[in-house]
Amino acid sequence: MRFGVLGPLTVRSGEGGRSVVRVPEAKVRALLAVLLTHEGRPVRPDRLVDDLWGAEPPGKPANALQGKVSQLRRAIGRDRVVLGPAGYALDLTGAEVDTDRFRELLVRAGAAATARTRVDLLDEALGLWRGAAYADFRDESFVRTAVRRLEEQRLTALEDQAQARLDLGEHTQVAGELTALAARHPLRERLRLLQMRALYRAGRQGEALESYAELRALLVAEL
């Protein structure tokens, strides 16, 4: 079974993940999302109730939670949602979640011997993203920590990819892409450094100096 969270939540089964597994009902999907953010670690029932219902829990929260767990087990398999002394957890084996594959590719890219191999591995890793992480739960507090962590890893991967592409001489293409990315993350210093380097090597020294001056002004204002 394969779980996708680098975009809207998806569940697939079968060889190559060809079959879509339907997880019905919003609260059941939210329960799966909560368990996926914990990556196989157990979650206390009271924490799950708070994540699913917030300030308006049902009259019998334990029974309501058990009902959602039963629905989730029917969708993805009874043995997949286990209850232990510390709470409920997903039984995950291997790289069943796309985040596992993403991180595995980042590690391989970091150990790659050539810039071309690093670019190829990082292309594959970034290609796993289908949108914002946990896109259909972005407004829920229970995914915020996981989303921040994944977004940081994605930005680092984009920076590593840009560095490798600069090593391959792709200055002009990288300069344009990083200018757009730097506009969305204006205080990210490594990103700015790579952007300025790409602009300089592409013969756009004036724009590189403008980017430096803009970053300096922002840092002075913020810090």
**Parts of the chain with a pLDDT under 50:** none
- In this prediction, residue 198 carries a pLDDT of 95
- In this prediction, residue 219 carries a pLDDT of 87
Query: Which residue in 214, 188, 204, 7 sits closest to 97, CA to CA?
Result: 7
Taking the domain 98-222, which CATH number applies? 1.25.40.10
Q: Same fold for the domain at 2-90 and the one at 98-222? A: no
> Distance between CA 105 and CA 35 in Å, rounded?
23
- In this prediction, residue 222 carries a pLDDT of 83
> Distance between CA 110 and CA 104 in Å, rounded?
10
- In this prediction, residue 116 carries a pLDDT of 97
Architecture of domain 2-90: Orthogonal Bundle (1.10)
Residues facing residue 43 across a β-bridge: 88
Token pair of 172 as six digits:
């002009």
> Distance between CA 105 and CA 128 in Å, rounded?
10
Cβ atoms of 135 and 143 closer than 8 Å = no
- Count of CA atoms in the C-beta half-sphere (13 A) of 123: 8
Domain ranges of the chain: 2-90, 98-222
